[in-house]
Structure 1
């Protein structure tokens, strides 16, 4: 098909069924389901159709097939819903580090050698300490430019100097930045050059946020289709950011006054998303 689609930045490119199939495959759709959905989406295409519209079409079709697949398919949007303040995103990053065995604190005031710093995440494990900054963007097209790792690296050096004096030089100290969107090329080049821990939606290749969540089952609760936007916000305000946390605390849903039928549907969906 020689139809063009319009990306979020206004750029027009040829429709690529392969990319749609790849996204559907990542959500857990089998080959037959992929072919079926792509065929139905093709029937709705027109020249210049926004990629956002294609996403909405595929999502609505997936939802009819399986809430589990639909929840995984909308992962990027789910991460974007950990806003607008960015505090839930910081908690999400902290929870992920906890599952990796780190002791985590979020929103910490840390005294550096020269000045104090408000650090998003401080993590400790087996002789290692991390200072992680979280850059949340409400617009998926916004990239974190080179000024972000430049700024964070300079702050880390000040914190590291104080940590070495307080805890000694035998520990390994690392600074890092995690963003829900992407880094510019200069940002990744500089950050990796100076040894920062750098994670974005798709960086490092094969180990970005998307891939890690898919592999680990650490889906944010905002992935759940059975919850309304307002209900998700209520849970975020209670500090719940993972489907697994909600699965372990079902009484939170009862405290919100939700009917048992919806609660059971939410918990089944959460369990399916947690499953790797």
Structure 2
């Protein structure tokens, strides 16, 4: 495969063409927990399906299908990015997901908070408090691969932050209400978005930004996998759980009764719970080179 695969041109989600990289695919499989033998098995099974111009989306789907037959927990970890994208179409599950990540970092959080600004009233996606500082967090959820958060997003969020940053407590007296603004997205930021946000003192968190403290880093480090990663749940079952405001695999472990109420057979519930336990107890940690 190293000889034939590396010569292929693949089509990225953006429509751009790029050279197929076995190294990148192997690295993504290893990050999911696949050992060297499993990586080789996936690559060998995948090779006959490759062709010139194949989309990266199709490569992912084929690799995921092969991996699922070998190890469902590893397949679930491999599907993290797609699992997060399934938190839509509304933004609320992603907001709750972000709030859960912040809780692991010692923040007290509230979702969907309305506050009056100097000019207009605003709904804050997540309000987080830690060490006496209050943070305004806006969540930008995308359910299409290849979509990036461009510079207009941090510019817009920063203007909202300035409107709510201070609150008037007396005729000529103001106090700080929010100390910092955040933008969290499940995809990537453009370079201009990063430059603007950094320049304005904002905190940006994207799929792979900042290094070692990105969205995927926090999920993998604290086992905060969304239940949409589970391969034993159907799409309809995932949506039903999201509608009940459950977003994490670990939440299922304390709410088995939800699956019973959904009418699932006992053997399916056992399989779902086992996969959730395996995913939540994942102890493999990546080296700094892998992240």
- State the TM-score bracket (shorter-chain normalisation): over 0.9
The answer (yes or no) to whether the contact 2:112–2:126 under 8 Å persists in 1 is yes
TM-score by length of 2: 0.90
Structure 2, unpaired ranges of 5+: 284-291
| Residue equivalent to 1:61 | 66
Aligned to 1:26: 31
Structure 1 position 60, deviation (Å): 1.0
Q: 1:163 Cα shift?
A: 8.2
**What is the CA-CA distance between 1:56 and the residue it aligns to?**
1.3
SS for the counterpart of 1:49 is coil
TM-score normalised by length of structure 1: 0.94
More helix by share: 1
Q: What per-residue deviation string (whole Å, max 9, x for no partner) do you get for residues 31-81 of structure 1?
A: 111122112212321222221121111111110111100001111110110
CA contact (8 A) 1:127 1:172 kept: no
With over 3 angstroms needed to count, the CA separation of the structure-2 counterparts of 1:94 and 1:113, relative to structure 1, is: same
User: 1-side partners of 2:196 and 2:181: how far apart?
Assistant: 13
- CA-based RMSD of the aligned residues comes to 1.8
**Residue 202 (structure 1) aligned with residue 208 (structure 2):** yes
Structure 2 Cα separation of the partners of residues 163 and 248 of structure 1: 44
**Offset of residue 168 of structure 1:** 4.6
Q: Paired residue for 1:36?
A: 41
**Pick aligned residue for 1:232 from 210, 231, 238:** 238
Contact 1:136/1:179 (<8 A) preserved: yes
Unaligned runs of 5+ in 1: none
Q: Secondary structure at the match of 1:162?
A: strand
3-state SS of paired residue (1:109): strand
Distance 1:225 1:138 in 2: 19
Q: 1:184 aligns with which of 181, 190, 196?
A: 190
1:213 pairs with one of 219, 224, 244: 219
Question: Does the 8 Å CA contact 1:247/1:267 hold for their aligned counterparts?
Answer: yes
Distance of 1:163 and 1:100 partners within structure 2: 30
Query: 1:175 and 2:187 equivalent?
Result: no
- Cross-structure match for 1:105: 110
What residue in structure 2 maps to residue 49 of structure 1? 54
Counterparts of 2:13 and 2:126 in 1: how far apart (Å)? 31
Runs of 4+, deviation exceeding 4 Å: 163-169
